[in-house]
Structure 1
Amino acid sequence: MRVLSKSLFKLGLECPNKLYFTNDKTFANKKSEDTFLQSLAEGGFQVEELARLHYENGVFIDAESFEYNKPVDLTNKALLKDNVIIYEGAFSVNDYYVRCDIIEKKGNKIRLIEVKAKSFNPTDDYLFIGKNGKLVSGWKPYLFDLAFQKKVVQMAFPSYEVEAYLMMADKTKKASIDGLNQLFRVPKNGNPRTEIVKRVTKIEEIGKSVLSEINVDSIINSILENKFSYYENLNFSEAMLLFREAYKQKKYLNWPLKFSNCKACEFKTSEEEKQQGLKSGFEHCFKKQLNWSDADFKRPNAMEIWNYRGGNLIEENRLFLDDLTEDDLKVTPIANKISPSERQWIQVEKARTADASVYVEKEGLKAEMERWIFPLHFIDFETSTVALPFTVDRHPYEQVAFQFSHHVYHEDGTIEHRTEFISNTPGEFPNFIFARALKEALIHDDGSIFRFATHENSILNAIIQQLKNSSEADKEELISFLKTITVSKKDSAESWDGDRKMIDLNVIVKDYYYNPYTKGSNSIKAVLPASLNSSEFLKKKYENCLEKINVSSKNFSGNHIWLSIKNNEIINPYKMLPPLYEGWDIEEIEDTVSEIENIADGGSALTAYAKLQYEDMTEKERGEITAGLLKYCELDTLAMVMIYEHLKELTI
């Protein structure tokens, strides 16, 4: 049965062409493998369960996602009552279909409550509609989703008066108890919508909720009246009709391609997926609309260019790098550095000529590195933000810093994995312990400190604010230290610029170094393997075990080797991180409660920390997850050391 659901309506708003590819298992879909999205989804199920406590004794419409008639019939039966609360109520009319998070019916009035794990500030006068009178872009998907639900409910029951609300995490509220997050446990190998383990039955058991409702009915009505459009050439009513017919008929809409949408399209295939027989929706569009051949997809194109917005290249059918000129990128040089536009043009030129050599602004990089003070400190943090806080007195999505790794590079070339920190105790707010451990790790010399990207600076800014609001006895001492290694954020009420502020190695890479193996990406996950591919020094060094090359480690044995080559290609070290539960019996693995198989990226790390909050986890499983987190974080700081060594090699 092909009906237009609310999730399909939202997908159509992203790009109408996606309706042709979705729910077709012959097309690859990268979102299904995204660990960060999976973590967000778990948080959404938890928020939904808490929201139901606000409306207790509701009728849950229990039906599988592929069933349509059953949930509609159950909902219609429940609506026969004068007053009723319904969870997951289903409505269907004219091949439109929605399941609504919470329905509150009193007489002929329905309150339609859409629950989102997104956070909001209720004091923001321009939350949904900006000062320009237009919908704030970040809220448009949520508001149009709710408008679709309201329209379908009204069509199904025209005699009812329907009012639309959002229920979300309220930034102005705090958790009243420890362990709020763990009161709503997403099941292992179960349906998170129907089998979530709820350890409370009444809202009073958690004190004050961190969720709030907000009435958005007037905005929803404006959308339904076509006063706000998602696309300039497509109003709400037209979108409903167009998307329904396209999905029902499995029709490719040939919607005009948009550079940013296509660049981020999830319907792309890797070479491995192609060998498995999966098709690419991305390629389907470009073959249909731009007449690309199979060979064209192997040619470098403008979507690979770092931080490039695309201009009118799609409309002009000039996406291949051979078609571009310096004017397209508005190349503007900067003395002794690589300007952003120069970086883009370097990428274009090297891709055109299949030049795999590194480009380095040698003199500028050398001058920068000569200012660095030994010993060099490389740090990386692992952090978490969740809608339902882990500990009392914390706001939704308040930063939690639960881990860091710290490598030291000495002037004689010795590499020391000096310190690390991890909090794996359920119910412990780690940030102030984290700050003390970081202070102790860094105060013993004046060596330069390195981070990779802005995350660490942002986290320490957040901890400074948390310390200000705390009653910690040493808070002034900690704040003073943290300010020496950070710079204040732009929106901070107070301004500072630490005399030992962390140096952003990511900025150093952007300013002085371009490696074609990164394909435009500047993430550490791309720069590390690219550096290993390009550096003879790194290859010769790291083909040996850690003990032989004088690199200490707190989590890997002295005979561990980080450089591995398969089919003449260097394997990304992040893919060499060991899976969890190696050597465990099958029965032991089946008894675990975390449902985590490996930790090799930020999404799986924050999920792992959330699972560590389970009080009933065995010490053996807790130790295994902790060990996995420590190994992952250690690789992050060792990766920074390797990148530094590569940059140093290039300045000699």
Structure 2
Amino acid sequence: MARFNDRDKYLTRHLFGAGLECPVKLYYYRQGYPQNKQSRPFIEHAIYNKRLLTALVRSVYPDGILVDEKQVPKAADKTHQLLQSANVVLFDAVFEHKSMMARLPIVHKTGNKLTAFYIRTKAFDSRKHRITDANGFINSKWEKYILDFAYQVYLIQNNFPGLDIQAMLVMPEKSSSAYTDNLPLLLHPLDNSQKVVDVDFSNQELLAKLDVTEVVEKLVSQPVFAENYLPKPTLKETLKYFSAVYSGDDKPEPEVGLKCKNCEFRIEENRVGEGEKSGFNECWSPVMSEGSPSKNHIFDLIGPGTNRRLANGNYDQGDIPLDSIFSSASVIKSEGRISQEMRQALQVHKRKNEDVPEEIIRPVLFEELDRWEFPLHFLDFEAGNFAVPIRKNRTPYHLVVFQFSCHTLYQDGTWKHREWIDDLNSGYSNYELVRRLKDISDIEEGTIVQYSNFERHALKTIRSELLKEHDEISDAIQLVSWIEQLINRHDSSHSQPPYIADISRLVKNFYYNREMESSLSIKDVLRSVMSHSSYLKEIYSRPYSSSNFRDIIWWQPDGKGGAKNPYAVLTESGDSPIRRGTEAMVVYGKMIAQKLDPKKKQAYQNALLKYCELDTLAMMMIFQHWQEKMG
């Protein structure tokens, strides 16, 4: 789907949705304000899944005509001309009206009836989900989709007032499964020619095709119904208002609140420091008595309570009264777990330039570590879930595990690194992963260490698959037996090893250092520990080499007295563009959806291998710091 070179002139479906969230966003979009980069991987994953679904829907329309003009007026004219035919299917049909435009992935005209398909990636389960409730109101889970669709139908109606329009919302059907293996590859979702491919018609059952004509029409033509969802009494008036904001130079008066927390115009603090405009800061600065909205905002406190703080007029962390939070001394003296409220309190004390402890390690953390038996296997899986399954008899968004990394640390301080990644030629990756993991010579000895409980969960999922397919998989029973002896291990909170231990639980409950902020993700915890630990500085200021890295220096100064995040070092070195699991998922999605030349495939695999290796190295680094503190 090519981007129009004149699209910025028009109010679009996306901008309509942004306006419903906050009209000020329309001003920021038109003025070209920079956006936060953190959400980009999630957007790319959604785009990829939408392309999969679109290719599957189109597969039953071999005679569909692609509207491939690069300018909105030309695309709208071509759409209008083609729809003069009595029977026609169009892909990427474009409708323009009063500086508004909409592009529909598929429209199907038969006589006087036009069926418009709107494709979304959220899974729908026909066994339990309903678009509207018993009173006919839109269930909140689907409200955004229906409102977006109403915008598009409104534009179609204004172009073709004489047509009977049927609105079909298409989503992945969670209760159905694929009839064909390797559907993403067969569908060619990344083929820019967008040719229709022929796949087994039974795979259409993967799609929930929902006729939402009635509720969409109520939004378009019934003000009594529409006013429940729109800022103006009717859809027409709402669109007139949004168009005026988007095309004008006057910014609406901001109404700040909880809705701002995930605003796309809340850019990173370092970018603000470099002179980039922050729409978020412009909205919040007038109501904040001190400080920059991009730093120490109430939204940056870990854990719950944001609504209450906002209601009390606490916008900056420094606004929170000391008598409403734990004192630093009480947090230090407490012997139990470090609660989120305690972490919030330490953030506030730090914001007020009061003393906070350099580090807190509860004794129970050392007690658990003391029970871990060597060797320690720091294990990480990378996995994906896609709207169209890659294996038959699987549902949309079933779990696909495509690689692992394992750093094994021995009692004498030496370590080994083992890894595996799907080569796309050796069979189903979930099963192949278990076979390759099983091949690690000492994996059944000592302690397996994970960050969160994901690896245990993934193995349970694979076990269920093997049990269902044991007649087809020759080594299924052996693999199931091996998986069970791993997943039946206790967590290290239990008194008896062997364990599958969870470092993230230990961090959450028993560990703190003053470099920590609002996130307990492994990437942010690693950065804080690297900045805090002189021991890690000593080790990782020296070159690190493995099968994926040659003489990389993981401890690098950040210019502020601390250490750079090693994940930033990874991307800055040019070794890998991947910094998050969602990015890894997108890369793997590209690998399974097209025939790659060997060079491109190797580049993708190298990037994935390096990213996954750093995840398990990060766990080992955190443990090494704790081990040094144990003495």
Quick check: 1:639 aligned with 2:625?
no
User: For 2:65 and 2:597, how far apart are their aligned partners in 1?
Assistant: 36
User: 1:390 maps to which residue?
Assistant: 390
Partners of 2:94 and 2:101 within 8 A in 1: yes
Unmatched runs of 5 consecutive residues or more in structure 1: 489-497, 548-552, 583-596
Q: CA deviation at 1:186?
A: 5.5
- The equivalent residue for 1:587 is none
Aligned equivalents of 1:272 and 1:339: distance in 2?
29
Cα distance, 1:257–1:457 mapped onto 2, change above 3 Å: farther
Is this contact kept in 2: 1:112–1:164, CA < 8 A? yes
Indicate the residue corresponding to 2:421 in structure 1: 422
CA contact (8 A) 1:13 1:230 kept: no
Instruction: Answer yes or no: is the 8 Å Cα contact 2:107–2:115 preserved in 1.
Output: yes
CA shift at 1:380, angstroms?
Answer: 0.5
C-alpha distance in 2, partners of 1:486/1:18?
48
Which residue in the other structure is 2:493 paired with? none
For 1:577, the equivalent position in structure 2 comes to 570
Inter-partner Cα distance in structure 2 for 1:615 and 1:81: 35
Contact 2:297 2:316 in 1 (8 A): yes
Tell me which residue corresponds to 1:5: 12
2: CA distance between counterparts of 1:28 and 1:487? 49
Match of 1:20 in 2: 27
Aligned to 2:122: 118
Could you say what secondary structure the match of 1:296 adopts? Answer: coil
Q: Describe the SS at the equivalent of 1:151.
A: helix
1:377 aligns with 2:377: yes
The aligned amino acid for 1:386 is F
Could you tell me which residue of structure 2 aligns to residue 411 of structure 1? 411
Structure 2 alignment gaps of length 5 or more: 1-7, 490-495
Q: Which one-letter code corresponds to 1:448 in the other structure?
A: T
Tell me which residue corresponds to 1:621: 600
Residues 33, 397 of structure 1: alpha-carbon distance in 2 compared, 3 angstrom cutoff = closer
Selected match of 1:101 from 105, 124, 131: 105
Letter in 2 for 1:612: M
CA distance in 2 between partners of 1:230 and 1:479 (Å): 53
Residue matched to 1:77: 81
Figure out how many residues of one structure are paired with residues of the other and give that number.
Answer: 608
Deviations 1:324-369 (A, max 9, x none): 1467679998852112222222222233226575341422322332
1:47 and 2:53 correspond: yes
1:515 equivalent in structure 2: 513
The counterpart of 1:506, out of the listed 494, 504, 512, is 504
Q: 2:554 aligned with 1:562, yes or no?
A: yes
Bigger shift: 50-59 or 498-507?
A: 498-507
Question: Do the aligned partners of 1:580 and 1:598 also contact (CA within 8 Å) in 2?
Answer: no
- Give the counterpart of 2:65 among 59, 63, 67: 59
Structure 1 Cα separation of the partners of residues 548 and 351 of structure 2: 39
CA shift at 1:454, angstroms?
3.5
Work out whether residues 258 and 314 of structure 1, in 8 Å CA contact, stay in contact via their aligned partners in 2. yes
Query: Is the 2:407–2:616 Cα contact (8 Å) retained in structure 1?
Result: yes
Q: Which moved more, 1:221-230 or 1:602-611?
A: 221-230
Give the residue type in structure 2 aligned to 1:71.
Answer: A
CA–CA separation in structure 2 for the residues paired with 1:649 and 1:113: 60
CA drift at 1:68:
3.1
**Partner of residue 182 from structure 2, selected from 179, 182, 199:** 179
Tell me the SS of whatever aligns to 2:549: coil
Residue 432 of structure 2 aligns with which residue?
433
Equivalent of residue 142 in structure 1, options 137, 141, 145: 145
2:601 paired with 1:601: no
Question: Does structure 2 retain, via aligned residues, the 8 Å contact 1:36–1:602?
Answer: no
1:18-67 alpha-carbon deviations (Å, 9 max, x no partner): 11111433x11125972332233123223223322223322322222xx3
- Whether 2:480 is the aligned partner of 1:479: answer yes
Matched with 1:492 is none
Instruction: Give 3-state SS (helix, strand or coil) of 1:461's partner.
Output: helix
* SS in structure 2 at match of 1:30: coil
Tell me how far 1:276 sits from its aligned partner: 5.7
Distance 1:234 1:450 in 2: 55
What is the deviation of 1:533? 0.3
SS at match of 2:277: coil
Give a deviation string over 1:112-154, Cα, whole Å, max 9, x none. 2112233322222x34346897644332221211122122323
User: Could you tell me how far apart the structure 1 residues matched to 2:585 and 2:148 are?
Assistant: 28
Matching residue of 2:303: 307
Please give the alpha-carbon distance, in whole angstroms, between the structure 2 residues aligned to 1:475 and 1:449.
23
Does the residue aligned with 2:118 lie in a helix, a strand or coil?
A: strand
Q: Which SS does the other structure have where 1:405 is aligned?
A: strand
Q: CA deviation at 1:641?
A: 0.7
2: CA distance, partners of 1:501 / 1:232? 54
Alignment CA distance shift 1:308-1:476 (3 Å): same
Change (3 A) 1:616 1:322: closer
Show CA shifts across 1:166-215 (max 9, x none).
1222233333333321234465xxxx7xx2454x5445589666334221
Tell me which of 207, 211, 225 is aligned to 2:207: 211
Q: State the match for 2:43 in structure 1.
A: 37
CA distance in structure 2 between the partners assigned to 1:341 and 1:33 by the alignment: 27
**In structure 2, what residue type is equivalent to 1:310?**
T
Paired residue type of 1:88: D
Aligned to 1:365: 365
1:160 to partner: Cα distance: 2.3
Q: Is the 8 A contact 1:402 1:430 kept in 2?
A: yes
| CA distance 1:297–1:212, shift in 2 (3 Å) | closer
TM-score when normalising by structure 2: 0.86
Is the CA contact 1:90–1:99 (under 8 Å) kept in the aligned structure 2? Answer: yes
Letter in 2 for 1:628: A
Aligned residue number for residue 589 of structure 1? none
CA separation of 1:445 and 1:42: change in aligned 2, threshold 3 A:
closer
The answer to whether the 8 A contact 2:371-2:497 is kept is no
What amino acid does structure 2 have at the position aligned with 1:45?
R
Deviations 1:39-98 (A, max 9, x none): 33123223223322223322322222xx33222222222222222222222223344332
CA contact (8 A) 2:507 2:520 kept: yes
Once residues 357 and 327 of structure 1 are traced to their aligned partners in structure 2, the CA distance between those partners, rounded to angstroms, is 19
Q: SS in structure 2 opposite 1:565?
A: coil
CA distance change for structure 1 residues 485 and 257 in 2, over 3 Å: closer, same or farther?
farther
